[in-house]
Amino acid sequence: MVPSPKTVRKAVFPVGGLGTRFLPATKAQPKEMLPVVDKPLVHYAVEEARAAGIEQFIFVTGRGKAAIADHFDVSYELKHQLSTRSKEAEVIEDWLPDPGQVCFTRQQEPLGLGHAVWCARHLVGDEPFAVLLADDLMLGEPPCMRQMVDAYSRVGGNLVCVENVAPAFTSRYGILDVAGEDGRLVRARGIVEKPKPSRAPSTLGVVGRYILHPGIFNVLENVERGTGGEIQLTDGLLAMTGTVPFHGLRCDARRFDCGDKAGFVVANVAVALEREDIRDYVREQLEALIGAPRSTRKAAG
Ligand code: UTP
């Protein structure tokens, strides 16, 4: 069946970055495999994509990222050892994508997010596709990418997930130049990569979810290297402004910036407080830690 021009079937997961902000934890393991409670970040992202109707999961990896491919494969050793304990067997493979639904390509050199996305061009082909950055953990219902796909079916073009950022932090994000707003949807006339607060056209920062028009591949092929010698996705989006619709969507979801140590710790606490099996104990320990005078703080129990 030929997909409608606004059907999103494929998702790209750029996981080729070095994760330097998380060293030494990321020296020998991918940042995207860091667990929030008991699931790796990239696993949450794949679940979110699947809930949005995505059928093909494309990982753009790099050196030292083999654990990601193993995670989305059958583990014969574990399966063998757990075969009689069905609850754990469920945990290791009930969620596995079907054979052939997952594919991998290598970025070879971490030359930026735009470059990572461009590396997926042959696997995506000529159709719109989602991009999910696993280190932005998005918790919402319906899941964030589902909200994006629904909005995309109305607007097409390029759609980015946005949130209001503190004015002092505009220099950490791609910031939208807003042309108009319609509820959660924002029409953009441009985007600026990491502007100083005084130069930011708004405080709407792009976070790690995108649905992109396949025309972005040609554009990325030709954009100049930007900040830090990297090929920025923002530059590709800017170059396409005016050629296809460009919107931001304020998703109804809570974002945890797990590429940052503090954000990662907060994500673990937030998810733990939602888990029935551990939340009471975690809450009790947190209250003890926070409630105790600074000099006498120690784990309760
Ligand atoms: P980040 O900039 O947060 O990741 O990119 P990083 O470069 O790995 O982290 P630090 O700053 O050194 O700590 C967001 C996502 O894009 C991927 C990363 O793997 C991460 O999932 N990425 C980034 C690539 O796939 N390739 C790149 O060249 C850069």
List the domains of the chain with CATH numbers: 10-155+204-236+251-259 (3.90.550.10), 261-301 (no CATH)
CA separation for the pair 271, 110 (Å, rounded): 30
pLDDT at 86 over 70: no
Q: How remote is the CA of residue 62 from the centroid of ligand 1, in Å?
A: 11
Is the pLDDT higher at 204 or at 63? 204
| pLDDT greater than 70 at residue 298 | no
Helix (H) or strand (E) holding 50: helix 41-51
As for ligand 1, residues whose beta carbon falls within 6 Å of it are 14-22, 31-32, 60, 107, 110-113, 115-116, 133-135, 259
Which of 22, 33, 113, 194 is the pocket-test mutation for ligand 1 (most atoms within 8 Å of CB)?
A: 113
Instruction: Give me the chain's average pLDDT, please.
Output: 92
The model's confidence at residue 79, banded by pLDDT at 50, 70 and 90, is confident
Answer for the pair 15, 32: CB distance below 8 angstroms, yes or no. yes
**Prediction pTM value:** 0.94
Minimum-distance ligand 1 atom for the alpha carbon of 60: 25
Q: Rounded distance, CA 47 to CA 279, Å?
A: 22
Ligand 1 center to 89 CA (angstroms): 32
Query: Which atom of ligand 1 is closest in space to residue 112's alpha carbon?
Result: 28
100: left (phi over 0), alpha (psi -120 to 50) or beta: left
